[in-house]
Amino acid sequence: MPTEEDSNQYAEASMPNIEAEVDLEDSHRYPESNSLNQPLLKRNRTLSTNPLAIVGSKVSHIESLDYEINENDLFKQDWRSRSKVQVLQYIFLKWTLACLVGLLTGLIATFINLAVENIAGYKLLAVVGYIQEKRYIAGLVYLTASNFLLTLIAAILCVCFAPTAAGPGIPEIKAYLNGVDTPNMFGATVLIVKIFGSIGAVAAGLDLGKEGPLVHIGSCIASLLGQGGPDNHRIKWRWLRYFNNDRDRRDIITCGAASGVCAAFRAPVGGVLFALEEVATWWRSALLWRSFFSTAVVVVVLRAFMEICNSGECGLFGKGGLIMFDVSGVTVKYRAMDIIPVVVIGIIGGVLGSLYNHLLHKVLRLYNLINQKGKLHKLLLSLSVSLFTSACLYGLPFLAKCTPCNSSLPESACPTNGRSGNFKQFNCPEGYYNDLATLLLTTNDDAVRNIFSTGTSSEYHPFSLLIFFTLYCILGLITFGIAVPSGLFLPIILMGSAYGRLLGVAMGSHTSIDQGLFAVLGAASLMAGSMRMTVSLCVIFLELTNNLLLLPITMIVLLIAKTVGDSFNPSIYEIILHLKGLPFLDANPEPWMRNFTVGELADAKPPVIALCGIEKVSHVVDILKNTTHNAFPVVDDGVVPPVGLADGATALHGLILRAHLVQVLKKKWFLREKRSTEEWEVREKFTSVDLAERDGKIEEVAVTSDEMEMYIDLHPLTNTTPYTVVESMSVAKAMVLFRQVGLRHLLIVPKYQAAGVPPVVGILTRQDLRSYNILSAFPHLARSKSREKGN
């Protein structure tokens, strides 16, 4: 376990309280408005980085991914040697994988929905049987024991077999697509635990959804297909070598994330836009088409199984299992005055969403302290939440008054004692129903359908809606963060729909908007206020409701809620990323980064370790054993300089990765004399597939004393086209380049080229561009930042 000092690096939400270590004279010397050609401040201490982060519930060592194309001699030869047939095969296989991702995600989503609806359905039918017999204590014991057992299974799977399967997985997917290698997030074990853990947790009645886990499941399927299976049993088919790189794996995981959202809401366009707006950092038109193709396959699979299940061949599934709210047959009318309650819903959603984010942040920090104590504490925390949830779901409906059924309704519709229905009898006499039991003693998906129902203006009492809203606010805070697969979508939808419907009840006859539509707008506003999504969320709700007339007011609600929420705190996923310590690079750099150069940042780092084009084996081994750097500049001394440069210039040949150096040592590709190798010599020993492997470690390599005196020609394996920036470039501009291109290393070259001047003055990595690390090394910037906020 990390020490308290280490945990502050990745779990502290606020910036450190940096004392003023420089007197007033220094602050006048380095004013905030200095130009780039003058040093803004003096270096306080060395720029340090912490590669630790919480992935799942484990503290892991974090590295970056190589999304940049490594244009070395082997890559160029491999690309030149590809025939038209191979290029077409590569394109065809991309689309085939996209199809398989959609197909498997749709099948697994159907399996999860069938399992949840049947397990929860039979459980609730048994509870209703006890209630009809007036055996209330037995009903409570049965419900509590069933939920306890289901939660125990889900928690044991996560705690003992795949800790990274706990939670939604969306923050880690965002970090991966941003360029962070989140270990053990997409394995076969994680996939299996995520599937069965989600079934157990959702069927247990916990206040969580399967939407977030489905995004993770889709990403796991995509990753496993792209790499040919699990790490220990990977298929070595020749065609899969095309996808044995981080760049193509990023694209296929993006398709998997889009497919997961589509499977959760049956919203293909919404899934694509969710991947574009929320999880993906890098996007292009070809990826857009493949993602859309994957979601289209998911919709076809879901639709096929829904047709089968509507015929009654899926047990208790029926029309359940998917959040559907079809109001295509409902006439949506609203007047100009209805804009006022719509605006009010947006404001409430922004305020409550930011408040929910703030409180959940505190709860997650508390849970982190509990989870650090061991597996037993994780299990006890999960089971305690399950007991509390079961007691509330069963006990609170007794506080509600029985309501007589509307005489216009048929006897089969009110009251109902089945698994689903809008008018649950619960403990009421014949001809009466319990509105709170209708919302609580059912599955989460049915609860959404019930509270979204239209034409039921007198079905729910304000007191029952208030109890429902209060309960799910509490459950939404204490449930997320326990050691089970969980999603945030459904808890937020339930909370938002409750206050939306309450506002509709309060408006009464003063508005022409149905109370069910108010519930939809409330759910949308709270999701925008917490998750800060707009376009994708609008399309998802549009595809859920199946009515274009809701589009204008939904857009207004989402824009207002997001604007209000942004004025208080970041989105919930950004907060979780910060708590876990994942080095996620934001799209917008800090304003103070404009007045700070990468050259000044390089001065705060240790000197660059460069290798010669033809290097001695002993020197390479020594560097790999005594450093943790993942790339080294390759320079050539004594080259004939171009006209205009003085003799003695040093040429920058490129950048070589640590993994490639380890591969060279493993394959014993050594030279007895100091010379350059021929192209055929390299192709004899290496293939592009060999250079895609990243698992080798220097500790696993054995080199004899005779081999230590030999040489290695690094030229063929060196990326000759690394991205470089001039040392006078601002940190803000460098950060935008780093993020948009998807880099792992960014070389800093000197402004003036001359003899004796090294060709590389520094290397920037992801950790170097994080504002937390920069402000820790340069406290003057923290003071500058506080002055900006004060103004």
CATH number of the domain where residue 703 is located = 3.10.580.10
What is the pLDDT confidence band of residue 226, given thresholds at 50, 70 and 90? confident
Q: Average pLDDT of 531-536?
A: 92
Q: Are 258 and 272 in contact (CB under 8 A)?
A: yes
The domain of 22 spans 4-64
One domain for residues 229 and 128: yes
Q: Flag whether pLDDT at 698 surpasses 80.
A: yes
pLDDT at 233 over 50: yes
If asked whether residues 235 and 294 sit together in one domain, one would say yes
pLDDT at 337: 81
| Averaged pLDDT, 614-633 | 91
Using DSSP bridges, classify how beta strands 724-726 and 746-749 pair: parallel, antiparallel or unpaired.
parallel
In this structure, of 310-319, 579-588, 749-758, the range with the lowest mean pLDDT score is 310-319
Confidence check: pLDDT of 319 > 90: no
What is the Cα–Cα distance from 631 to 718, expressed in whole angstroms? 10
- What mean pLDDT do residues 421-440 have? 83
Q: Is residue 515 part of a domain?
A: yes
Final residue belonging to a domain, choices 310, 326, 361:
310
CATH code at position 134: 1.10.3080.10
Q: Identify the domain boundary among 526, 559, 579.
A: 579
pLDDT mean across residues, the chain: 83
Do 130 and 152 lie in a common domain? yes
Element (H, E) at 64: strand 63-64
Per-residue pLDDT tens digits for 287-303: 999 999 999 999 999 98
Residue 501 lies in a domain: yes
What is the Cα–Cα distance from 410 to 544, expressed in whole angstroms? 28
- The DSSP element (H or E) to which 789 belongs, if any, is helix 779-790
Average pLDDT over every residue of 720-735: 93
- Side-chain-facing half-sphere of 259: CA atoms under 13 Å: 39
**Residue 600 sits in the same domain as residue 566:** no
Whether residues 522 and 643 share a domain: the answer is no
Q: Is residue 75 part of a domain?
A: no
Q: Does 791 map to a domain?
A: no
Average pLDDT, stretch 534-539? 92
Strands annotated E in 445-546: none
Q: pLDDT at residue 482 above 60? A: yes
pLDDT confidence tier of residue 567, bands split at 50, 70 and 90: very high
Residues 602 and 573 placed together within one structural domain of the fold: no
The more confidently predicted of residues 612 and 6 is 612
- pLDDT (tens digit per residue) in 108-125: 999 998 999 889 988 998
Domain membership of residue 683 (yes or no) is: yes
Residues 602 and 743 in one domain: yes
The distance of Cα 493 from the centroid of its chain, to the nearest Å, equals: 19
* More confidently predicted of 790 and 271: 271
When comparing pLDDT for 44 and 614, which is higher?
Answer: 614
By 3-state DSSP, what share of the chain in percent is helix, strand and coil, each rounded to 5? 60, 5, 35
Q: Is residue 584 part of a domain?
A: no
Lowest mean pLDDT among 73-77, 410-414, 446-450: 410-414
555 with 611, same domain: the answer is no
Rounded distance between C-alpha atoms, residue 643 and residue 189, angstroms? 60
Q: Reduce the DSSP state of residue 762 to 3 states and report it.
A: strand
Domain identity same for 487 and 601: no
- pLDDT for position 49: 58
| pLDDT band per the 50, 70, 90 thresholds, residue 735 | very high
In a domain, 123, yes or no: yes
- Whether residue 280 sits in one domain with residue 134: yes
Task: Quote the tokens at residue 38.
Answer: 């003058």
Distances (CA, A) of 509 to 210, 454, 504: 37, 15, 9
Most confident of 231-240, 695-704, 719-728: 719-728
570-596: pLDDT as tens digits: 999 999 998 888 889 988 888 888 888
How far is residue 519 from each of residues 22, 206, 342, 453, 477, measured CA to CA in Å? 56, 21, 11, 9, 21
Q: What is the pLDDT of residue 412?
A: 60
**Residue spans of alpha helices (H) in 412-479:** 435-440, 444-452, 462-479
Please tell me what DSSP assigns to residue 158: I
151, part of any domain: yes
CB proximity list for 739: less than 8 A, separation 6 or greater: 178, 179, 281, 585, 587
At 55 the pLDDT is 72
pLDDT of 219 above 90: yes
Beta strands in 659-777 (DSSP E): 711-713, 724-726, 746-749, 762-764
Q: Are 527 and 354 in contact (CB under 8 A)?
A: no
**Which one has a higher pLDDT value, 130 or 15?**
130
- Digit-coded pLDDT (tens) for 88-107: 888 888 999 999 999 999 99
Q: Do 259 and 368 fall within a single domain?
A: no
pLDDT at 177: 93
In Å, how far from its chain's centre is CA 546? Answer: 28
3-state DSSP call for residue 426? coil
pLDDT of residue 405: 81
State which of 525, 546, 579 marks the end of a domain. 579
In whole angstroms, give the CA distance from residue 89 to residue 268: 27
Same domain, 421 and 517: yes
**Contact yes or no for 548/331 (Cβ under 8 A):** no
The pLDDT of residue 200: 95
What gap in Å lies between CA 179 and CA 663, rounded to an integer? 23
Whole-number pLDDT of residue 21: 33
- Cα separation, 472 vs 529, whole angstroms: 17
pLDDT digits (tens, 9 = 90+) for 17-53: 323 333 333 333 333 333 333 333 343 445 655 577 7
* pLDDT of 6 above 50: no
Q: Calculate what percentage of the chain has a pLDDT beyond 90.
A: 42
Number of domains present in the structure of the chain: 4
With 80 as the cut, is the pLDDT of residue 455 above it? no
753 pLDDT more than 50? yes
The backbone torsions φ and ψ at residue 205, rounded to the nearest 5 degrees and listed phi first, read 80, 10
Report the alpha-carbon distance of residue 509 to residue 507 in Å, rounded: 6
Q: 415 preceded by cis ω (within 30°)? A: yes
Beta bridge partners of 725: 748
